[in-house]
Copies of this chain bind each other. A is one copy, B any other.
Amino acid sequence: MTIQYILEILGTGFFSISGALAANDKAKPDWFGASFIGFITSIGGGSLRDILLGSYPLVWIHDTNFMYAIFIGVILASVFFKILIRLRKTFFLFDTFGIAMFTIVGTEKALSLGVHPMIAAIMGMFSAVMGGVIRDVLTNEIPIIFKKEIYATACLAGAILYLVLNYIGCERNANFLLSALLIIVIRIIAVRRNLSLPKFTKE
């Protein structure tokens, strides 16, 4: 078990917590509904990436540790619900670490399958954000990443940095850390200063 593997499992569990909590805000689901949405939020991005790339088997189907992490996440979300909603700031940090890690892991995976770097960057970003998009569609909301302070674009920026450093021969672990750090820094600045991308049109 590498450190990265442990982080991926933790990230998956965390995403299921945040998915269940977000679902609860919007749809007032029962236990099954919250667990289901937590599950989809966790595995949606990576699954979509792998389906688009034709890369089978999907990680969570192959390795049940991901399922255990999701179950534990959903149970924690319900049991500690009141505490967790008071910890929104801590959550922001977890989410930021999560999307940074999933972006780089996804970019690497796509690259290892031989796709063009531009496609690899998009797949890295998809890994991080598409679970949330599916969660928003299921709870009947317009996906928040279409409007929110710089989020998916931070992932894209990190993926592009990874590709550039990879191209010039940067050592892999250093590259992973630097690229993830860029995503984290952009997110923190964007949230602190309430930065958004410009609207598509001015009207």
Q: Which of B27, B197, B203 contacts A30 (CB 8 A)?
A: B197
CB neighbours (8 Å) of A61 from chain B are: 52-53, 115, 119
CB neighbours (8 Å) of A33 from chain B are: 143, 145-147, 200
Task: Return the chain B residue nearest A110 by Cβ.
Answer: B61
CB neighbours (8 Å) of A145 from chain B are: 32-33, 36
Q: A61-B115, A200-B33 are in contact. Are A28 and B81 (CB under 8 A)?
A: no
Task: Return the chain B residue nearest A77 by Cβ.
Answer: B200
Task: Return the chain B residue nearest A81 by Cβ.
Answer: B201
In whole angstroms, what is the CA distance A145 to B145 when docked? Answer: 25
Q: Which of B20, B24, B118, B137 contacts A67 (CB 8 A)?
A: B118
B-binding residues in A (CB < 8 A): 20, 23-24, 27-34, 36-37, 47, 51-54, 56-58, 60-61, 64, 67, 77-78, 81, 115-116, 118-119, 133, 137-143, 145-147, 152-153, 196-201, 203
